[in-house]
Amino acid sequence: MGAGTELAEAQCDSLEGRIYLDYNATTPLAPEVSQAVWDAMCQAWGNPSSSHPAGSKAKELIGSARQSLAKMLGGRPEDIVFTSGGTEANNMVIHTACRHFHDSQRETGDSQGIPHIVTSSVEHDSIRLPLEQLVKEGLAEATFVPVSPRSGQAEVDDVLAAIQPNTCLVSLMLANNETGVIMPVAELSQRVCALNRRRAAQGLPRILVHTDAAQMIGKGRVDVQELGVDYLTIVGHKFHGPRIGALYIRSPGTATPLHPMLFGGGQERSFRPGTENTPMIAGLGQAAELVNRNWEAYEAHMRDVRDYLEATLEASFGKQRIRFNSHFKGSKRLCNTCNFSILGPGLQGRRVLAHCKVLLASVGAACHSEKGDRPSPVLLSCGIPPEAAQNALRLSVGRGTTRAEVDRAVQDLVHAVEQLERDQAP
């Protein structure tokens, strides 16, 4: 784990002895990624569309990065379109599905009304909010399938039961950012594929399948052939890359529709025009290369440290005081994620973290950090009782996290809880 050790050392320098356990929110650039970004800024500054050597160098780097991302996912280079990040990629899929629905209606002469999209109740805001806006404007219908309190997953049967004649897209994240629960995307794709064959015979629109893989990449195997999806969202800063992203599309523009949201110079085959951000794309490619070479070692290390963290929490607080909010029988979860509550009055997650001197973590999704002490909607939808959900903490370990750091972080939590309980004593 040499690269992980370098990463941990670089982090400690920047955080002045704090212990960062918020890797599901973001990750620092791997040293190799920083170098790739810097080298591209210095040596590949030309416009990739220019035919002279300066432009050719930039174009070459972009092509290499595209190959690295495709290899990471088991896809083809031509299936990768670079975007500004996961939010743009997710919005592009929704935009495409609605456009494709209307195009299909015109071609067949049938009218199924407005497009309908099925997703889960625990998706990222960049799925939920665009859908809510389309519904508000009367441009689409959406069904948000609740997750099962038994499994923490959006169950395949429940998703399929939500499908209507005008359904054009099913979007289900690959792994949840708060609980770490891995969703049954491959099974869903298989079932939708079979359903599409029956729908075609009935003249109904094709249902496209999308997964947001932001949390899974770099923490486990992600293979688009096994998943069977039409679209997959890639987010660089979740796996030690820069803050850009990409979208995988199975044969874009031929087997799978893709409609641009922007119009301009024709870059990215006109699917996503705008002069390419060569340094960030080079960094994303390097981050993908690290995953290609090391993902199994990363996964094993993070699982070992996460399991040690959970054992240490139970040993330090007692099994009766710790409730693990991401343990669902029969469901797999991310190797690095521990969502738990320290039970007791006045121990809301945000208050506990505010009293920590060393630990840097969160109570849930970084995008929801302004919502005060209200329990996480994701945890509530998973059947976690409100009094436990409001005490929730999400600790997510990284490639370079050590057992010694876990020991320090848990001791910090113990001291924070002791301080809160002293302050509350009559």
Tell me, what's the pLDDT at 6?
55
Helix, coil or strand: residue 232: strand
C-alpha 367, offset from chain centre: 12
C-alpha 320, offset from chain centre: 32
Tokens 């999806």 found at: 229
* Model confidence at 373: pLDDT above 90: no
Q: Is 319 exposed, middle or buried (0-12, 13-18, 19+ CB in 10 A)?
A: exposed
Q: Is 62 left (phi over 0), alpha (psi -120 to 50) or beta?
A: alpha
In DSSP terms, 169 is beta-bridged to 117, 208
pLDDT digits (tens, 9 = 90+) for 191-221: 999 999 999 999 899 999 999 999 999 999 9
pLDDT digits (tens, 9 = 90+) for 211-257: 999 999 999 999 999 999 999 999 999 999 999 999 999 999 999 99
Q: Is 327 exposed, middle or buried (0-12, 13-18, 19+ CB in 10 A)?
A: middle
For helices 31-43 and 278-317, angle between their N-to-C axes, nearest 10 degrees:
170
Helix, coil or strand: residue 416: helix
pLDDT digits (tens, 9 = 90+) for 104-145: 888 776 777 999 999 999 999 999 999 999 999 999 999 999
State the chain's mean pLDDT as an integer: 94
pTM for the whole thing?
0.95
Radius of gyration of the chain (CA): 22
Could you say which of 42, 338, 367, 382 is catalytic? Answer: 367
**Residue 168 designated active-site:** no
* Model confidence at 161: pLDDT above 80: yes
CA distance 178 to 339: 7
**For the ranges 200-204, 273-277, 314-318, which has the lowest average pLDDT?**
200-204
CA distance 386 to 412: 25
Q: Which amino acid is at 33?
A: V
Q: Which two tokens stand for residue 270?
A: 């006109």
Q: Which amino acid is at 326?
A: S
* Model confidence at 10: pLDDT above 70: no
Tell me, what's the pLDDT at 12?
45
Contact 150, 327 (CB under 8 A): no
**If we measure between CA atoms, which residue out of 254, 201, 252 comes closest to residue 70?**
252
* Model confidence at 3: pLDDT above 60: no
